[in-house]
């Protein structure tokens, strides 16, 4: 998700119904006790999911339990679940450095063969957007502007902003985009578990850390994360806070300067932070609106995932990659979440991440271009 510096643009009337607000920055004060309890609950959910052998347990377990409490408007000693987006941002450089650890000279030699599927992303993005939009308008009752920007296969914040400028139903649009990401995050690991017959990621005992961190590696990786985070925040790259540290870490690993990566416990903490931050997004959503948004998001996401499967079957042999890796490269989830899934599967992480960077960029650009044709001026 690109440049998440804001709260969800959903607020609540006294009746509990969501009302549209402009995107607002973080408040000056933080409810530390509520944040601490929310993190504890998310962590508990992650370990419970691991014990139950669910796929990608730290991410999915924390997300599902916090989302359930948020939807149920649970009160933790008078406080709702809460997790400021800024806390999530703090873990993105860690995950970027970890993903960069998958880079090697062999990957560098392999990169020229990726161009057919990279070009295919340019076809996939507008095709997935328009097919999803047509499906949502055919089977739903949303207005055209909300349906159009809610069907964009990437660029969550940008899609909400563009839709708001054109008069979309902002709470509904926000829910559609969040549910697109969340459904993809939930369905993809489950699909891999069903296909392989065993849990994926840390639930199966796999470590997401490629090799042990040494004292020699430590200053280099800290520098890659810190400098990358600073550059990523200042850049206009999508998901720059994870993308730039990943690029710097990849360069260090490719040159043989470092060999290790962040320890597993730190990667687990990052997954819990991301899962918890996704779960609290459901706070303040009315049940009726949620059911409507879920139904529409299932249609939209289903179309995009089916199309991703078709592209995977078509291009897997051409780029000499497993079908699963190509499918992950096209699945319309967040860059961070899809990269984590690829990392947990030890499946062409750099390949997957490179495709998602292009997908998010194209999703924003194509939404702007297609909006003029589909919705008219401006």
- Which CATH fold topology does 10-374 show? Na+/H+ antiporter like fold (1.20.1530)
List all residues 6 or more positions away from 13 whose beta carbon is below 8 Å from its beta carbon: 19
Confidence tier at 240 by pLDDT (50, 70, 90): confident
Compute the average pLDDT of residues 101-126. Answer: 87
What are 249-293's pLDDT values in tens digits? 888 888 888 888 888 888 889 889 988 988 888 887 778 888 889
Compute the average pLDDT of residues 125-148. Answer: 92
Report the distance separating Cα 371 and Cα 373, nearest Å. Answer: 5
Percent of the chain surpassing pLDDT 90: 28
pLDDT for 200 equals 57
Alpha helices (H) in the chain, listed in sequence order: 32-51, 57-71, 85-100, 105-110, 115-139, 144-150, 156-165, 170-196, 217-234, 240-254, 264-279, 287-319, 323-330, 335-345, 349-374
275: Cα within 13 Å, side-chain hemisphere = 33
Q: Using CB atoms within 10 Å of the CB of residue 195, give its burial: 0 to 12 exposed, 13 to 18 middle, 19+ buried.
A: exposed
Average pLDDT, rounded, for the chain: 82
What are 39-90's pLDDT values in tens digits? 999 999 999 988 887 777 888 899 889 989 988 888 877 778 889 888 888 8
The yes-or-no verdict on residue 221 having pLDDT over 60 is yes
pLDDT for 21 equals 37
**Looking at residue 127, what DSSP letter applies?**
H
Confidence tier at 6 by pLDDT (50, 70, 90): very low
Domain boundaries of the chain, sorted by first residue: 10-374
List all residues 6 or more positions away from 185 whose beta carbon is below 8 Å from its beta carbon: 56, 59, 60, 63, 278, 333, 334, 337, 341
Q: Find, among 6, 24, 4, 285, the residue nearest to 172 by Cα.
A: 285
Q: Is 34 left (phi over 0), alpha (psi -120 to 50) or beta?
A: alpha
pLDDT for 315 equals 95
- pTM as predicted: 0.76
pLDDT for 309 equals 92
**Looking at residue 76, what DSSP letter applies?**
B
pLDDT for 314 equals 94
Q: Find, among 9, 42, 10, 341, the residue nearest to 189 by Cα.
A: 341
The yes-or-no verdict on residue 236 having pLDDT over 80 is no
pLDDT for 329 equals 92
């Amino acid at each position: 998700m690109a440049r998440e510096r804001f709260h969800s643009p959903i607020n609540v009337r006294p009746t509990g119904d969501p009302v549209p607000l402009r995107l607002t920055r973080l408040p000056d004060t933080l409810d530390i006790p509520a944040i601490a309890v929310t993190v504890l609950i998310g962590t508990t959910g992650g370990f419970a999911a691991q014990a139950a052998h669910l796929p990608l347990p730290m991410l999915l377990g924390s997300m599902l339990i916090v989302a359930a409490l948020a939807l149920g408007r649970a009160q933790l000693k008078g406080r709702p679940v809460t997790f400021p987006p800024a806390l999530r941002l703090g873990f993105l450089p860690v995950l970027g450095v970890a993903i960069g650890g998958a880079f090697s000279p062999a990957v560098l030699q392999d990169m020229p063969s990726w161009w057919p599927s990279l070009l295919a992303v340019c076809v996939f993005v507008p095709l997935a957007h328009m097919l999803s939009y047509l499906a949502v308008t055919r089977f739903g009752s949303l207005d055209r502007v909300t349906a159009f920007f809610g069907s964009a296969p990437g660029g969550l914040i940008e899609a909400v902003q563009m839709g708001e400028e054109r008069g979309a139903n902002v709470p509904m649009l926000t829910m559609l985009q969040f549910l697109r990401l969340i459904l993809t995050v939930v369905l993809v690991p489950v699909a891999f578990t069903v296909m392989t017959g065993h849990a994926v990621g840390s639930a199966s005992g796999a470590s997401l850390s490629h090799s042990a961190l040494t004292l020699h590696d430590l200053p280099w990786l800290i520098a890659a994360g810190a400098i990358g985070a600073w550059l990523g925040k200042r850049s206009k790259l999508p998901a720059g806070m994870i993308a730039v540290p990943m690029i710097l870490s990849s360069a260090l690993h490719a040159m043989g300067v470092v060999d290790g990566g962040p320890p597993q416990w730190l990667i687990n903490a990052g997954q819990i932070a991301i899962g918890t931050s996704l779960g609290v997004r459901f706070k303040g959503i009315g049940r009726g609106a949620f059911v409507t948004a879920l139904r529409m998001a299932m249609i939209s996401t289903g179309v995009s995932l089916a199309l991703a499967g078709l592209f995977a079957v078509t291009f897997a042999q051409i780029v000499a990659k497993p079908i699963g890796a190509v499918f992950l490269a096209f699945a319309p989830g967040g860059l961070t979440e899809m990269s984590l899934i690829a990392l947990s599967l030890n499946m062409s992480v750099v390949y997957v991440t490179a495709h998602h960077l292009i997908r998010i960029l194209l999703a924003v650009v194509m939404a702007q271009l297609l909006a003029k044709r589909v919705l008219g001026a401006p």
